[in-house]
Structure 1
Amino acid sequence: MDAEVCVDLGMPVGAIPRQAGGNPPPARTQYRMIRHDIQHQIGTIMLLAQVVSDANDVGRASRVRIDQLLGEARWLDELLQAYDRDTEPPPVERLRADVVVGEAVAALGVATGVRVSFAATPTWAVVDRLGLWRAVRNVLDNACRAAGPGGSVRVRVGSADGVAVVDTEDDGPGFGAGPTGLAQLGLGVVSQVVAASGGTVRIDRGELGGCRVRMTLPDGAAP
C-alpha cells in the first residue's frame, strides 16, 4: 500500500518533511522518533499495570509486584527525560535517601533470586534524586551478580557525623573476582553521581565476606 495514502496529520502530504534521495533523517531526528515510540510504550505498560493493580481479583502479593513494576516504569520515564536534558546539570535537592534507596531495593528483591535485606533509619542527603537511584541500582546490580542465585546482599542506610551513609555488601567472592559484566561502567556512574554531590565512594571487603560499597553524601543539615 502506498504510504502517502495512509497519512493523515492535518496537513497536505506534500508538506511532510522528507530527506532528499530517500536518505534516513538525521541522528537527532531519529532519536526523537524512537524516543516518541518508547514514551508511548512506557505509557501503555503503566496503564496496563494500573488496570491490573486496581482489579478486584488480584491478590495482595501480585498487587505489590505490579506496583513495583509501575515504579520501575516511572523511573525509566525519568531516565528518558534526563537524557533529553543531558546539557543541563541535574537538579540537586535535600531528600530522604532511605526512601529512594528503599524503592531500588524493593524492586531488585523481587526480580532476582538473591536474598536482599534492607535496614534504614530516616536519612537526609543532598543529591540528585534520579542520580541517587541510578547509583544505588548500579551498586545493587553488581552486588546481586556477584552473590549469584541463593546468595545474600545487605543494604543499610543511616547518618553519622553530618553525612548520609549507604552501605551495600554481598557474600560473593569480592571485587574483581565475580562474574564479568558492566561493573566498571556502573561504578563510573556511581562515582560521577556521588562526586557531583561532594560525597565519597569506598570499596572494600564487607562483613558478609564479599565486596562492600560505601557511599557517603552530605546531609545538608545546618551546622
Structure 2
Amino acid sequence: MHEIRQPVAVVLALAEAARGLPGTPDETHEYLDRIVDQVQEVSAAAFSVLVEQADDHLDGAAPLDLEEVLESVLDAYTVTWAGTLTRSGPRGPLWTAGCRATVRRCVVNVLDNAVRAAGPTGRVVVTTVPGEDAIRVVVEDDGPGFGLGPPGTGIGLPATRRALRLHGGRLATGRSRTLSGARVTLSLPTVPVRGQPPRVDLHRMTGRAS
C-alpha cells in the first residue's frame, strides 16, 4: 500500500502548493480542487481493493449516500467522455449501507462499459429509482447492445455482481427500451437513516451531464 500512498501524497502536496501560489486564477483553483478529489478517489479505490474481504455480508456497515457516490462518478465522466451523459430520476439522499469505495467502483465499472459501447458521440442515461426496499440505478446506452460492442465492454461486470451481492444487492442486464443499446441495473438495499437533514445539493455538475 505504501507504493500507492506515497505518490498520491506527493500529488496532493503539489496541488496544495499550487493552490497557495499568489495570483492563481479562480478557474485554476477549481481545476486543482477537482484534481485533488479524483486523486483521493483513486487512493480510496486502491485501498478498498487491497483490504476487501470475501465475506457473505457486511456486518455493521456504515450508512452510505448513493446520491453522493453517483455525483462523484458522473462529475468525473463529464470531464473524460465527449458523449452526452444525462441524469434522470429524483435527486436527494439515497441511503444504503456499505463500503463507499467498493460501491463507487461498481458504478464506475457499469458506466465505463456504457460509455465504451456508446462511443465518443453516443448517449448514456443514468436513472435513479428509489424504493422502500431497494434503490435501483439504471444505466442505459445507445450502443449496439451486449455482445456487439467494441472490445473492453462487459469487463468488470462479474466482479461488480459479486461486490453488490456482498452488500445485499444485485446486478441485472438487458436491452434498453428507449436507447436501443444495453441496460444495466444496480440494486442496493434501502437503509432508513433517522435524524439526517435533507442534503442540499451545492455541487452542480459541469460538462454535458444534466
In which range does the TM-score fall when normalised by the shorter chain?
Answer: 0.7 to 0.9
Task: Indicate the residue corresponding to 1:77 in structure 2.
Answer: 43
Q: Report the AA paired with residue 77 of structure 2.
A: L
* Structure 2 unmatched runs, 5+: 194-210
Does residue 102 of structure 2 align to residue 135 of structure 1? no
> Where does 1:42-53 land on structure 2 (aligned, <5 Å)?
42-53=8-19
Query: Which residue pairs with 2:78 in the alignment?
Result: 109
1:17 maps to: none
Among all aligned residue pairs of Structure 1 and Structure 2, give the percentage whose two residues are the same amino acid: 27
Contact 1:153 1:170 in 2 (8 A): yes
Query: Over the residues paired in the alignment, what is the CA RMSD in angstroms?
Result: 2.3
Question: For the structure 1 residues 187 and 88, does the alpha-carbon distance in structure 2 shift closer, same or farther, using more than 3 Å as the test?
Answer: closer
1: CA distance between counterparts of 2:2 and 2:97? 32
**Mapping 1:54-65, distance limit 5 Å:** 55=21, 56-60=23-27, 62-65=28-31
CA change 1:175–1:38 in 2 (3 A) is same
User: Which of residues 164, 181, 197 in structure 2 aligns to 1:194?
Assistant: 164
SS in 2 for 1:183: coil
Matched residue SS, 2:15: helix
Matched residue SS, 2:97:
strand
Q: Whose RCO is larger (CA < 8 A, sep 6+)? A: 2
- Structure 1, unaligned runs of 5 or more: 1-34
Range 130-139 or range 75-84, more displaced: 75-84
**Alpha carbons of 1:114 and 1:161: their partners in 2 closer, same or farther (altered >3 Å)?**
same
Q: Give the alignment's TM-score, normalised by structure 1.
A: 0.74
Matched-pair contact (CA < 8 Å) for 1:162–1:221: no
Question: Which of 160, 176, 192 is the matching residue for 2:131?
Answer: 160
Q: Distance in 2 between matches of 1:139 and 1:82?
A: 18
Count of residues in correspondence between the two structures: 186
Larger helix percent: 1
- One-letter amino acid of the structure 2 residue matched with residue 44 of structure 1: V
Shift of 1:37: 3.4
- Whether the aligned pair in 2 keeps the contact of 1:146 and 1:170 (CA below 8 Å) is yes
TM-score norm. by structure 2 comes to: 0.78
What amino acid does structure 1 have at the position aligned with 2:191?
A: G
